[in-house]
Amino acid sequence: DVKVTQSSRYLVKRTGEKVFLECVQDMDHENMFWYRQDPGLGLRLIYFSYDVKMKEKGDIPEGYSVSREKKERFSLILESASTNQTSMYLCASRVTGAYNEQFFGPGTRLTVL
Amino acid sequence: KNEVEQSPQNLTAQEGEFITINCSYSVGISALHWLQQHPGGGIVSLFMLSSGKKKHGRLIATINIQEKHSSLHITASHPRDSAVYICAVGMRNQFYFGTGTSLTVIP
């Protein structure tokens, strides 16, 4: 079974803090994704990576950066957390190709106070 | 404008009812996926479709490429089917997601 794990299920941070969200997958997938999910807006792509050290901006990259130093790990960084970044963050991975399903992590519910 | 539209947004059904959730998309796609998200956040993939129809247990998914429309049907619904169902279209390296249909099945 493919497993995608995220470092925290729940996280509370203060405005201005630097926040790291970690995602690890164990199936040697090339592609990894970070989404945020908000009520009424669905999942929106923040960044994705199609290989180690490669990254592309998604639809809402502002205020975020990413790092992929190893194939199995994809990190999302909030350089200076703000209250409008309070959300559910979901990581996913898949083998390259639009016909291949994405495997999702359990999500991190981040609250920025 | 969202590339993927789902209806209805919310759905309440009695146990045993036949349920249909619809998905329309406005872009050319490689594949369409139906996902299920239970309370607590975990998302699992139910189906991947590029044409025709697929069946898995009580779930049936259909797609009409010409009309850019897909439906997810649940036969003999059960309270454990209560979840959010999400339609996603795959294009090259990215997915685009509908906002989801929240289904509640009452015993």
pLDDT digits (tens, 9 = 90+) for A42-100: 899 999 999 998 999 999 999 999 999 999 999 999 999 999 999 999 999 998 876 77
**Are B86 and B35 spatial neighbours (Cβ–Cβ below 8 Å)?**
yes
Give which of B36, B37, B63, B93 to mutate to test A binding, by max A Cβ within 10 Å: B93
Q: What is the pLDDT at residue B95? A: 83
Check residues A100 and A9 and name the one with the higher pLDDT: A9
Q: What is the pLDDT at residue A97? A: 74
Low-confidence ranges of chain B (pLDDT < 70): 1, 92
Contacts of B60 (CB under 8 A, 6+ apart): B53, B54, B72, B73, B75
Which residue in the block uniquely carries the two structure tokens 């990190």? A75
Nearest CB to A42; choose among B48, B50, B98? B98
> Using a CB-CB distance cutoff of 8 angstroms, which residues of chain A are in contact with residue B31?
98-99
> Given its phi and psi angles, is residue A99 left (phi above 0), alpha (psi -120 to 50 degrees) or beta?
alpha
Binned at pLDDT 50, 70 and 90, residue A111 comes out as: very high
Binned at pLDDT 50, 70 and 90, residue A39 comes out as: confident
Q: What is the pLDDT at residue B1? A: 57
Which is it for strands A4-6 and A19-25: parallel, antiparallel or unpaired? Answer: antiparallel
Q: What is the pLDDT at residue A1? A: 67
A30 burial level (CB within 10 Å; 0-12, 13-18, 19+): middle
Nearest CB to A98; choose among B31, B86, B99? B31
What is the spatial distance between Cα A19 and Cα A17, in angstroms, rounded to a whole number?
6
